[in-house]
Amino acid sequence: MVLLAGPRQCGKTTLARSRLDDRGVYLNWDIAKDRKVIRDLSWPKDASLLVLDELHKAPKWKNLLKGVADEFHNRPPVLVTGSAKLDAFRRTGDALTGRHYFYRLHPIDVSESKLFLPQLGLQSRVKRLLEAGGFPEAYLEPGEAARLRNDRMELVTREDLSDLSRVSSWRGPADLVELLRERVGGPANYDNLAQALGISPPTAKSWVELLEKLYLIFMLPPYSRNLSRSIRKDRKLYFYDCAAAYDDTGGAQLENLVACCLLKFTQFRKDTKGESWELFYLRDREGREVDFVVTQNRRVHWLIEVKASDDTVSPSLGYYTRKLNPKESIQLVLNLERPQERSGIKLLRLGEWLEALS
């Protein structure tokens, strides 16, 4: 059994349907006739593949999945799609232990963009990601990106949030999303968010955690291993839609794009290979900051700083390169005339490096 989770509209249903042949069965809980088949467990047992879409909306859906696994022993093979609740189910680790795989599907990244628009050059594809984001429909129709983004965010706050929690009104979380779009790449300060929304800090924190579970946003923890207590402990905020930030300079979108690519890489390695990759950031109380820290087996593999056009090595990156001794220290620059290396720090073209991160 495969559990496939990811953001709304990133392509889970399209991917699931693409795996079906003429003996495959697709059932969607939102469709009344399909719902009856699921309840009765009456799909053909000799099907080549069974896809259960939107199953997390079913009452006692966890018990249903456990029953399917116990009674039919994954005959036919089962592919279940969803978002937060599938991840929660994976973590319970009871009935499906050893009998399922869990994968996360992400929006299009720089490496994958060539498969969608091979006629475009690398710079054009990166520019489109920064302007339209990586959700497939928006990426292919950038003129519709803003409308599609607003529709997706409204569906998450109006429908998905109520399915997952007891939040009585969608308006508050919708206002929170708007505030978060102004804070991309910065810390999630729950006191400030609470004051702006007229709610308590614990409520603000619970709403942010719900949006994270629904794959609208993701939060990066600070890297602190082998460092002093001076490291800041706030988590940094990003959207799965790398173009969602409100920022006229474009710096937040650029940093968000790199964050999405790195998260996709680390989670893919973990889901498919079982490798231990993690993504962090680093900021201390003296103001020294490195945008991203990528670890493998708990050791620092990459220190990464992101710049739009500056070919001057970041002093903070230099400081922590000496302190942490990573495998590689990299400053990714969007507009860089030529790659360079200074004092063990590589200055590389952002698009080329991300395209190779596959």
Give the DSSP letter string of 85-139.
Answer: HHHHHHHH-STTTTS-EEEE-----HHHHHHH-TTS-HHHHHHHHHHH-SSHHHH
**Residues 211, 156: contact at Cβ < 8 Å?**
yes
pLDDT at residue 40 in the model? 93
CA of residue 279 relative to chain centroid, distance: 12
- 93 pLDDT higher than 60: no
Average pLDDT of the residues in 179-204: 94
Q: Which of 82-86, 275-279, 281-285 has the highest mean pLDDT?
A: 275-279
Nearest alpha-carbon partner for 88 in 12, 163, 15, 171: 163
CATH topology assigned to domain 2-104: Rossmann fold (3.40.50)
In this prediction, residues 248-265 reach a mean pLDDT of 96
Q: Which DSSP string do the residues of 195-216 spell out, in sequence order?
A: HHHTS-HHHHHHHHHHHHHTTS
pLDDT one-digit tens code per residue, 107-143: 999 999 999 999 999 999 999 999 999 999 999 999 9
136-176 tens-digit pLDDT: 999 999 999 999 999 999 999 988 887 777 676 678 889 99
Q: Can you give the residue ranges of every domain in the chain?
A: 2-104, 110-356
What rounded mean pLDDT belongs to the chain?
91
Q: Which residues are paired to 4 by β-bridges?
A: 81, 103
Span 290-327, pLDDT tens digits: 999 999 999 999 999 999 998 899 999 999 999 999 99
What 8-state DSSP symbol labels residue 354? H
> Which pLDDT score is estimated for 90?
53
> Taking a C-beta distance cutoff of 8 angstroms, is the pair 354, 111 a contact?
yes
Rounded to an integer, what distance in angstroms lies between the CA atom of residue 189 and that of residue 191? 6
**190 and 204 in contact (C-beta within 8 Å)?**
yes
Angle of CA points 306, 126, 213, to nearest 5°: 70
Arithmetic mean of pLDDT, 68-94: 75
Q: What are phi and psi of 326, to 5 degrees?
A: -75, 170
Of 351 and 83, the one with more pLDDT: 351
β pairing state of 25-28 and 50-53: parallel
What pLDDT is attached to residue 115? 95
* Residue of 188 and 168 predicted with greater confidence: 188
Q: Are 90 and 334 in contact (CB under 8 A)?
A: no
pLDDT of 95 over the 60 cut:
no
**24/70: higher pLDDT:** 24
* Of 179, 246, 280, residue with least CA distance to 190: 179
Please report the pLDDT score of residue 224 as a whole number: 86
Rounded Cα–Cα distance for residues 263 and 215 (Å): 12
| pLDDT (tens digit per residue) in 34-63 | 999 999 999 999 999 999 998 888 888 878
